[in-house]
Structure 1
Amino acid sequence: MPKINGNEIRPGNILEHNGGLWAAVKVDHVKPGKGGAFAQVEMRNLRNGSKLNERFRSADKVERVRLEQKDQQFLYENDGMLVFMDIETYEQVEVPAEILGERRPFLQDGMTVVVEFHDSEALSASLPQKVTCKVVETEPVVKGQTAANSFKPAVLDNGIKVMVPPFVGQDELIIVNTETMEYTERA
């Protein structure tokens, strides 16, 4: 694996540090009035989610890890474990449901998800950016309520609440952005 200098760390880099795999979340380059410059790096552990703040001088060498990204198809959930199948090899892999965090309700049967692996260990999964959901419950349209930014609450078929424009009615299909968890458009 390639070693990089401490001042070459960028947000999003995956580093091997203290025997663990860490994702660089935030990087600040600091040049104090006295002494050498350093990079103040906020890192998140990919295995247990703990956070760590570490200083790296430019002379420090850090192991940079490349994760392998594979398209996986979601099959089913079993005892808190999500079962995915590799689209090319048809191998099945079990991943804890917590890996998706608050985006878990947007996972649908047969959905293709990008799972990142490090030596056959699944570390993270990302859903498609846009997902089609059905509005189960929302308020009826009120005539004359045409203010530019008027949104109303709606409950989706997966139980998530989002704000939708007044023209969206019950039983309509809408497209939701899974990153911001907001309404984007009608389906």
Structure 2
Amino acid sequence: MKINGNEIRPGNVIEHNGGLWVAVKTNHVKPGKGGAYNQVELKNLIDGTKLNERFRSAETVERVRLEQKEFTYLYEQGDALVFMDSETYEQLELQKDFVGDRAAFLKEGMTVTVELYEEKPIGISLPPQVTLEVAEADPVVKGQTAASSYKPAVLENGVRIMVPPFITAGEKIVVDTDEITYLRRAD
């Protein structure tokens, strides 16, 4: 779908210079001399490089629609993670580095959303929160105030995280998968 350069908004995915780019920031500029333009900060969806580009209102760009599909995480196989399409039952293998640090939060049977462009995966979204058990937690140091005295802990998946002093080993906690931070005790 073609759109004018001045219609690009943050979050739009466009095809530019032979690659897929997401608009991170946009700024409409009307200089004293010359025509108005849209100053757009773009981030490459494949390799993460950034680019600042000016688009005049007369220019058109191809806006890309990404397909979002639900997949179920099955298992780990070497450096690959195996997912299954929830509708067609086809399997998809993604490299661990594609998922990044958040791969540690994947559990068998977990539903994730994979963004596809022309059937090629370009992004993955995990559930925003997961419940995990605390495997190890440092003991509370007496005399510390409760205000900002978080202590290190290790979760069942091996991830290190800072938790409040009242959390002990064996407790289940809710963790934010984007920020990798403690949110609250699990119910």
Are the counterparts in 2 of residues 141 and 169 from structure 1 also a CA contact under 8 Å? no
User: Using the alignment, how far apart are the partners of 1:33 and 1:22 within structure 2?
Assistant: 30
One-letter amino acid of the counterpart of residue 83, structure 2: F
Q: Which residue of 1 aligns with 2:40?
A: 41
Q: Which residue of 1 aligns with 2:168?
A: 169
User: Using the alignment, how far apart are the partners of 1:158 and 1:138 within structure 2?
Assistant: 14
> What SS is found at the alignment partner of 1:27?
strand
Displacement after TM superposition at 1:90 (Å): 0.5
1:106 matches 2:79 = no
User: Using the alignment, how far apart are the partners of 1:170 and 1:181 within structure 2?
Assistant: 18
> What SS is found at the alignment partner of 2:101?
helix
Are the counterparts in 1 of residues 70 and 85 from structure 2 also a CA contact under 8 Å? yes
Q: Which residue of 2 aligns with 1:89?
A: 88
Trace 1:124-163 onto structure 2 (pairs within 5 A). Answer: 124-163=123-162
Are the counterparts in 1 of residues 146 and 165 from structure 2 also a CA contact under 8 Å? no
Unaligned ranges ≥5, structure 1:
none
Task: Name whichever of 143-152 and 54-63 sits farther off.
Answer: 143-152
1:17 matches 2:19 = no
User: Using the alignment, how far apart are the partners of 2:71 and 2:23 within structure 1?
Assistant: 25
User: Using the alignment, how far apart are the partners of 1:160 and 1:27 within structure 2?
Assistant: 36
> What SS is found at the alignment partner of 1:94?
strand
One-letter amino acid of the counterpart of residue 109, structure 1: E
One-letter amino acid of the counterpart of residue 17, structure 1: H
- Cα gap change, 1:79 to 1:31, in 2 (>3 Å): farther
Moved over 4 A (4+): none
Displacement after TM superposition at 1:146 (Å): 4.3
Are the counterparts in 2 of residues 76 and 109 from structure 1 also a CA contact under 8 Å? yes
Q: Which residue of 2 aligns with 1:62?
A: 61
Task: Name whichever of 46-55 and 16-25 sits farther off.
Answer: 46-55
Displacement after TM superposition at 1:47 (Å): 2.0
One-letter amino acid of the counterpart of residue 64, structure 2: V
Aligned residues: 186
> What SS is found at the alignment partner of 1:101?
helix
User: Using the alignment, how far apart are the partners of 2:28 and 2:160 within structure 1?
Assistant: 40
Q: Which residue of 2 aligns with 1:26?
A: 25
Task: Name whichever of 46-55 and 81-90 sits farther off.
Answer: 46-55
User: Using the alignment, how far apart are the partners of 1:67 and 1:76 within structure 2?
Assistant: 26
Query: What CA deviation, in whole Å up to 9, does each residue of 1:36-87 have, x standing for no partner?
Result: 2211212122222222221111111010011111110011222322211011
Q: Which residue of 2 aligns with 1:121?
A: 120
One-letter amino acid of the counterpart of residue 102, structure 2: R
